[in-house]
Amino acid sequence: MPLKLVLPLLGLVVSLPAQIPQMSRTPQMRTVQPDSGKIGSVLQVHGVYLGKALVDEVYLTDHTFDMKVKVLEQADDSIEFRIPPSVKPGRLQLLVKTTGKEPLLIEQPVYITVEEPKDPDAAATASK
């Protein structure tokens, strides 16, 4: 059933698809704790609409390559994930892939810093 939007000043009535309320449930990441770590570190991002019903996958991106992270726990207001072994040190942005027939990749306003490993053998051990 379409929704009707009434604009009294203009005297217009516009029919909107019933899916409009779904659009207002766009996943939004707000903070990440801690905001840095090494390969294998576990981080937790907080926000809204982050549950499995709306978020299918989480990625780290350097805007050239998107790296899927392993989601360890997921709730409507948080996602816990591990920094993957394939990631290079530096500042990376979080990205979510939504669920549904037409999934979207949505860049989030949240960044992490992947630290340089002190010992190259430690990075290989941490990723196991």
What CATH number does the domain containing 92 carry? Answer: 2.60.40.10
Percentage of the chain beyond pLDDT 70 is 74
For residue 37, name the pLDDT band (cuts at 50, 70, 90).
very high
Other CB atoms within 10 A of residue 74 CB: 15
Please give the residue range of the domain that contains residue 67. 26-117
The bridge status of strand 36-37 relative to strand 105-114 is parallel
* Residue 15 belongs to some domain of the structure: no
Query: Is residue 45 in a domain?
Result: yes
In a domain, 42, yes or no: yes
Q: Select the more confidently predicted residue: 123 or 55.
A: 55
- What's the structural domain count of the chain? 1
**Higher-confidence position of 72 and 20:** 72
Residue 46 domain-assigned?
yes
Q: Cα(103)–Cα(122) distance, rounded to whole angstroms?
A: 37
Residues in a beta bridge with 73: 80
Nearest to 79 by CA among 66, 63, 94: 94
* pLDDT reported for residue 7: 44
Centroid of chain to Cα 11: 40
61 within 8 A of 95, measured Cβ to Cβ: yes
Q: Give the pLDDT score at 122.
A: 53
Mean pLDDT, all residues of the chain: 84
What band does 15 get if pLDDT is binned at 50, 70 and 90?
Answer: very low
Q: What is the pTM of this model?
A: 0.74
Tell me the C-alpha to C-alpha distance, in Å, between residue 68 and each of 20, 84, 94, 126.
29, 8, 10, 17
Instruction: In whole angstroms, give the CA distance from residue 45 to residue 27.
Output: 12
Residue 55 lies in a domain: yes
In a domain, 14, yes or no: no
Answer yes or no: is 17 within a domain.
Answer: no
Which carries the bigger pLDDT value, residue 79 or residue 86? 79
- Is 3's pLDDT higher than 80? no
